A and B are shown apart, each in its own frame.
Chain A
Amino acid sequence: MRSLSLKKRPDGVAVLLFDTPGRPVNVLSSGLLDEAGPLMREIREDDAVVACVLASAKPDGFIAGADLDEVLAMGAAEAESISRGAHAWLDRVEESRKPFVAAIHGAALGGGLEVALACRYRLATDDPRTVLALPEVMLGLLPAAGGTQRLPRRIGLQRALPMLLTGKRLRAAQAYRCGLVDALTSPGGLLETAAKAALALAKGTLRPPTDRRPIAEAPLALPPLRAWAIGKARAEVLRKTRGLYPAPLEILACVEKGLADGLAAGLEEEAVRFGRLAASEGAKNLVRLFDAMTALKKAPKGSPAPRPVNRLGVLGAGLMGEGIAAVSLPLAPVVLKDVSEEGLARAARSLRKGLDRRLRSAALTRLERDRRWLALKPTTKPEELAGCDLVIEAVFEDLALKRKVLAEAEAVLAPDAVFASNTSALPIGEIARGAKRPERVVGMHYFSPVPKMPLLEVVVAERSAPWAVATARAFGVAQGKTVIVVKDGPGFYTTRILGPFVNEAVVLLDEGAAIPDLDAALLDFGFPVGPVALLDEVGIDVAAHVSRDLGKAFAARGAAPSATFGKLFDAGYRGRKNGKGFYRYGPSTRPGGRKEVDRDVYAHFGGTERKPMRAADLVDRLVLLMVNEAAWCLQEGVVASPRDADAGAVMGLGFPPFRGGPFRWVDAVGAAEVVARMERLRTLCGKRFTPAPLLLEAARTGRPFHG
């Protein structure tokens, strides 16, 4: 089945229509490139055609990018070749005597934007669905159809670099303002308007400005200044990625080459470097994670229909409750209940600020802002929860309190309303003990900050009913989260595998490791936050609690919670929240700013004389325990599949995304090697390093976790 069709209109405009069969969005593939050739020739040779419009037949999208399944299967040579093929096609679009107009409605991402960039004129609909971006860098790839060349030439280096290096998305109005889009129009009659523009371009009555770059960019034409700007960008990339992500650096190299040596040289650079990236395991892992995220949006086969949530209750107006309310307001009215008026006022203020900010950036219309604000009902009265279809509790992590609020809610909820707990480690079964209807109780474990963190763990207790699980899952997906469904148990999945990881960090400090060495080692492995800094963020008290509970639950396997947690707690250390942690926190400390170690804390770890340790050893000690615990979870059915386990670890805990997750990492290193390292550490450090049976099995059979 064909993705492209050509329709010639009596007015001389030919419409090249994109319609990828069998998919809700259009994607560029080698097949499409093959189709394009003959159609381009037809456009060129037919004298009746004076201009061309590129449009999408999909109702809500232009072109969403390349066919990732295809890219995943490619080696370097193939990838290079497809990039060259795209260049050849789009060169012909750009150089065509007959002007090409891109009619953009909906998402024009990656290759889709690159196709539009090659056209003489870009018309976009002023609609919230319309978005333009080059997100390839986020998948470890680069825009391989001329994006690194045409974008900076069109909108200037300063505006192009954030799009190229971070995948920054532009809305229609923003794209128009910076010259990426030439005109805005309403969605209705887009094709006709585009045809009018195409004819006017052909006649010469429409002459769009050729250079949209801001005047301030003029100095960048000078090679030394340009080199300086690119050098700055490169330094910034290295600082942010610690050199672990090649994609942004390759993109910069393409941009630089093209600006110095011309378009053809730049495109050649693109093709070669794209080949390298597409073949890299890092990029493949990122694409696989993207696929997993997409797949996890669908409910598993045989799942009962979820109950619609027309009214949501959130218990607890703290940071988590507020965040959950924030991501839910677009979906349903939210009753936000707390015992403290101050807490409610603070949460209300913060939620309003968030809405106002989105109004200012035109992400929301004024009416949407008003509606969402008025849909929030802060209250101290439990009776107001009546009529809620789902209640999510995010109160203080105390079993008695959670049981109390569950009872309070059950008194007013309908029999088929779902009650979900946001607890990160209290067993759902325990919370549900004594409930009138335990079947309605599930866990919905969010990560902080809720609006930003993509993962949601839905926890299924023994008595949780499938309809309750389905409802929680569906609502999480509606909130935009990637949902993994896990079984109830100590720490569920993510907390359970994080526990030994952070505990081992404290054990290493007990053994004399230096905090900067420890954090740097894991940052260089690819974690976004070092384990010691993470302890401060999560809270030393919380970590102590979790470590103790998990230690008890898994004592038989040699879990060894460090006693220093208790000492730190007694000495008043809570972490960032009370300003007393492993690092110094003061009024000048920005959330992402460089931190200074609070050397006083070493007093609890045997003094300020620290032992130098090899980064590789530090990494092994922590990562092997996390991975091993993940294997236990898979074995016990806590997590359903290696795919879910990898997605959970990456999106909930920051396991290095380019490594794909714990099981991808085991497959990459080799289970036999992983087991060997663990055996060595068992001898040196203790029983906790005993490899899980699933790992031993994998080492024995040689079968990878990801088939």
Chain B
Amino acid sequence: MAAKNVHGRTVVFAGGCRTPFLRAGAAFADVMAYELGAMALRGLLDRTGLDPAAVDRVVMGTVLADPRTTNLARESALAAGLPASCPAFTVTAACASSNVAVSGAVEAIASGAADVVIAGGAETLSDAPIRFGREVRKRLIRSQKAKGVLDWVKLLQGLSLKDLAPDTPAIAEFSTGQTMGQSAERLAKRLSLTREAQDRWALRSHRKAAAATRAGLYVEQVVPARVPPSFGPIDADDGIRGDTTLAKLGAIPPAFDRAFGTVTAGNSSFLTDGAAACLLASAEAAERLGLAPRARVAATALVAMEPLEELLLGPVAAVAKALDRAGVPAGEVGVWEVHEAFAAPVLAFLKLLADRSYCRERLGRKDAVGRIDPKRVNAWGGSLALGHPFGATGARLLTTCVDRMEREGAEIGVVTTCAAGALGHAMVLAR
């Protein structure tokens, strides 16, 4: 059954590229996020052969914004050689940042506001925007008006040793005070997701990622990077542990609940540096510019759930909504690319999508959305093995989804992500 086209004009995916995803603090440690973004953009332009002047806008997602580059997309675009006349802006929606960048691009193209948009994201976890504490910041800002020595002395009054501690970017949900890991634990407990099931999913992710890398399946999308000090080409993700075992994973202590927890560093995604970018265009523009329309974006969906108990459950509702819009039953989806923030939310997603009472009571549906064949999910590994540069993952999922659809001969693909803020995002692709 052909997926319905719910947008105004037909929007096609014409290519995707990413930098290798590297563990934070490793080879990309001294590279700024905008530079990673520029590498992905440059690689995309080179590989598609698109004239940079044909791009109408660039949208990138990022989470831990470096204050020096408040509009990361613009700095990446300029450095990558896009003309100064190409507008660019940056979006943020936690782990779904580049997903939202992509669906925003889709909406712009569908409505006719643009013909060709590059959407993606970039993130570095090797550097964080660490700030002085509020009391110090207040005084520094006031110091701009300071005139004499007495003014300076007054500024130091009332400052305690405690005030000198820096502010680190929050890893906790602002509204609930829970860290993501704590939310994952909460979810695992509520849905009785066992330690073993989570470790198995992690093992699966690493094995499939290693196999896909060995088989050269990532060669098309990964743009080799050259960075100081060696400048040798880095063309592979460095977080994959293809030789890990259930025993090794089982030995890792729980990270968020020492006593009774099941979520560990082994079945969570790790801090990663990387960037990814996708080329989207109207079908007409793709033809005019000689771009191969590799897949059509049939539908997108953006939802938000309740932050305390449902932080990571966005994908269920989002997928349900997107599949409804596209008019495609879950069983016909050939390729699933699901973000693996932790193993727990993925298992929860698979479970609840097939759970009739959840779908009836929580999503107001007549029936379960569907039981997904796990073999179709993340066949080339996922974020648990490849890493999760927050702002870039969505674009990686989309690129991999289309690459897989072509290789596996699938007609329908779905990309979905959970995100802090209890957001959920899904996209349906059709060939």
Q: Which residues of A have CB within 8 Å of B232? A: 341-342, 345
* Pair B79/A378 contact, Cβ less than 8 Å: no
Q: Is A346 an interface residue (CB 8 A)?
A: yes
* Whole-angstrom distance between the Cβ of A201 and the nearest chain B Cβ: 29
The number of residues on chain A lying at the interface, defined by a beta carbon within 8 Å of a beta carbon of chain B, is 17
Interface size of B by CB at 8 A reads: 17
Residue of B nearest to A356 (CB): B228
Tell me if B39 and A345 are in contact (CB < 8 A).
Answer: no
Residue of B nearest to A333 (CB): B81
Q: Say yes or no for B38: interface residue by CB 8 A criterion.
A: yes
Query: Which of chain B's residues 22-62 have a Cβ closer than 8 Å to chain A?
Result: 35, 38-39, 42, 46, 49
Out of B79, B229, B230, name the residue touching A370 (CB < 8 Å). Answer: B79
User: Are the CB atoms of B226 and A374 closer together than 8 Å?
Assistant: no
B190 CB to nearest A CB, Å: 47
- Assess whether A348 is interfacial by the CB under 8 Å rule: yes
Q: Which residue of B lies closest to A346 (CB)?
A: B231
* Pairwise interchain contact B79-A374, C-beta atoms closer than 8 A: yes
Tell me whether B326 is interfacial, beta carbon within 8 Å. Answer: no
State the Cβ distance, B384 to closest chain A Cβ, in Å: 30
B67 CB to closest chain A CB, in angstroms?
A: 16
With beta carbons under 8 angstroms apart, the residue of A344, A352, A370, A377 that contacts B46 is A377
Interface residues in A345-404 by Cβ distance below 8 A to B read 345-346, 348-349, 352, 367, 370-371, 374-375, 377-378, 387
CB proximity to A under 8 Å, residues B209-233: 226, 228-233
Residue of A344, A349, A378 near B228 (CB, 8 A) is A349
Q: Closest CB of chain B to A338's CB: distance in Å?
A: 12
CA distance A324 to B35 in the complex (A): 25
Q: Which of A352, A371, A378 touches B233 (beta carbons < 8 Å)?
A: A378
- Pull 30 A–B residue pairs with CB atoms less than 8 Å apart, ordered by A: A333-B81, A341-B232, A341-B233, A342-B232, A344-B231, A344-B233, A345-B226, A345-B230, A345-B231, A345-B232, A348-B231, A349-B228, A349-B231, A352-B228, A367-B78, A367-B79, A370-B35, A370-B38, A371-B80, A371-B81, A374-B38, A374-B42, A374-B79, A374-B80, A374-B81, A375-B81, A377-B46, A378-B226, A378-B233, A387-B49
Q: Note all chain A residues with C-beta closer than 8 A to B230.
A: 345, 349
Closest to A310 in B: B51
The residues of A with any CB-CB pair to B shorter than 8 Å are 333, 341-342, 344-346, 348-349, 352, 367, 370-371, 374-375, 377-378, 387
Report B-chain residues with C-beta under 8 Å of the C-beta of A349.
228-231
CB <8 Å contact, B79 and A371: yes
A352 CB contact (under 8 Å) in B42, B79, B80, B231: B231
Q: How many A-B residue pairs have CB under 8 A?
A: 41
How far, in whole Å, are A341 and B81 apart by their CA atoms in the complex?
Answer: 25
CA A546 – CA B115 in complex, angstroms? 59
How many Å from the CB of A336 to the closest CB on chain B? 11
Shortest 5 CB-CB distances between A and B: which pairs?
A370-B79, A349-B231, A348-B231, A345-B232, A345-B231
- Cα A341 to Cα B35 in complex, Å, equals 23
Cα distance, A342 to B232, chains bound together (Å): 7
Contact flags B63-93 to A (C-beta < 8 A → 1, else 0): 0000000000000001111000000000000
- Among A333, A344, A370, A371, find the residue whose CB has the most chain B CB atoms closer than 10 A: A370
Bound Cα distance A349, B42 (Å): 19
| Contact pick for A374, options B39, B228, B233, CB 8 Å | B39
How far does the alpha carbon of A375 sit from the alpha carbon of B79 in the complex, in Å?
A: 9
Shortest distance between the CB of B393 and any CB in chain A (Å) = 23
- State the CA gap A349–B232 with chains docked (Å): 9
Chain A residues positioned under 8 Å from B78 (CB to CB):
367, 370-371
- Would you call B81 and A348 a contact (CB within 8 A)? no
Seed contacts A344-B231, A345-B232, A377-B46; 20 additional CB < 8 Å A-B pairs = A341-B232, A344-B233, A345-B226, A345-B230, A345-B231, A345-B233, A349-B229, A349-B230, A349-B231, A352-B228, A352-B231, A367-B79, A370-B78, A370-B79, A371-B78, A371-B81, A374-B38, A374-B80, A374-B81, A375-B81
Scan residues 223-262 of chain B and give those whose CB is less than 8 A from a CB of chain A.
Answer: 226, 228-233
Q: Output the nearest chain A residue to B38 by Cβ-Cβ distance.
A: A374
Residues of chain B with a CB closer than 8 A to A333's CB: 81
Closest to A344 in B: B233
A377, B226: Cα distance in complex, Å: 10
Give chain A nearest CB distance to B341 CB in angstroms.
31
**With A and B bound together, what is the CA distance between A342 and B39 in angstroms?**
21
Q: Which residues of A contact B49 (CB under 8 A)?
A: 387
The interface residues of chain A lying within 8 Å CB-to-CB of B81 are 333, 371, 374-375
CB neighbours (8 Å) of A367 from chain B are 78-79
Contacts of B38 in A (CB 8 A): 370, 374
Of all chain A residues, the one with the shortest Cβ separation from B82 is A371
Chain A residues whose C-beta falls within 8 Å of the C-beta of B39 in the assembled complex: 374
Q: How far is the CA of A298 from the CA of B233 in the complex (A)?
A: 41
Q: How far is the CB of A343 from chain B (nearest CB, A)?
A: 11
Instruction: Name A375's closest neighbour in chain B (CB-CB).
Output: B81
Most buried by B among A341, A371, A374, A377: A374
Contacting residues, chain A, for B80 (C-beta < 8 A): 371, 374
Least Cβ distance of A637 to chain B in Å? 43
Q: Residue among A333, A349, A375 with the most chain B CB within 10 A?
A: A349
CB A478 to nearest CB in B, in angstroms, measures 18
For B46, give the chain A residue with the smallest CB separation: A377
Tell me the residues in window 145-197 of chain B with beta carbons closer than 8 Å to chain A beta carbons.
Answer: none
A68: min CB distance to chain B, Å: 38
Report how far A614 CA is from B226 CA in the complex, Å.
Answer: 56
